[in-house]
């Protein structure tokens, strides 16, 4: 029997309802729990996140060195440009605009509460069939 039955990424923020709404839309998730100080969601792929109320929460400053990464999330996507439009439309903001080269292409963003996350496009290296 597993000792741990689920892992949940928890982000502290001033307004958990608003941050949960951002990630619910972005991840096509459903709300699984809500209380006065915490909202939990579960994505279609099973990813679980929670948002905990903390009136003193300080967002990470990344890419600036002071108070840099506290944690960040990598989100795998098929189309960076299309998902970027959704992120910006939901209230997220770009943290950097440089174009990553090589087999991985990624872009950094902040959610509406300032937590950093990366949209990452992994190109297949398998030979084409047919």
Model confidence pLDDT, tens digit, residues 116-125? 888 888 655 5
| DSSP line for 21-73 | HHHHHHHT-EEEEE-SSEEEEE-TTS-EEEEEE-TT-----TTSSTT--S--E
How many residues can be counted in the chain? 130
Asked if the model's pLDDT at residue 52 lies above 70, the reply is yes
Nearest-angstrom CA–CA distance, 63 and 116: 9
Instruction: Return the number of other C-beta atoms located less than 10 Å from residue 128's C-beta.
Output: 5
Q: Where in the chain is the domain with CATH 3.10.180.10?
A: 1-57, 58-130
**Nearest 5 degrees, angle CA 15-CA 21-CA 25?**
155
CATH number (3.40.50.2000, 3.30.70.3270, 3.40.50.300, 3.10.180.10) of 1-57 reads 3.10.180.10
Nearest-angstrom CA–CA distance, 17 and 40: 10
What pLDDT, on the 0 to 100 scale, is given for residue 62? 66
Is domain 58-130 annotated with CATH 3.10.180.10? Answer: yes
Q: What is the mean pLDDT of residues 25-40?
A: 94
Q: 0.85 exceeded by the pTM?
A: no
Contact, 114 vs 91, CB < 8 A? Answer: no
């Amino acid at each position: 029997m597993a000792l741990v039955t689920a892992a949940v990424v928890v982000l502290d923020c001033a307004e958990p309802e608003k941050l949960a709404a951002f990630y619910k839309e972005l991840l096509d998730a459903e709300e699984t729990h809500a209380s006065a100080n915490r909202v939990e969601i579960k994505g279609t792929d099973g990813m679980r996140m929670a948002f905990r109320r903390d009136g003193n929460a300080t967002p990470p400053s990344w890419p600036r060195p002071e108070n840099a990464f506290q944690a960040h999330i990598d989100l795998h996507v098929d189309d960076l440009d299309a998902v970027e439009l959704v992120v910006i439309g939901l209230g997220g903001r770009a943290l950097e605009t440089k174009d990553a080269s090589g087999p991985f292409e990624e872009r950094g963003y902040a959610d509406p509460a300032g937590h950093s996350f990366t949209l990452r496009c992994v190109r297949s290296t398998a030979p084409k069939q047919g």
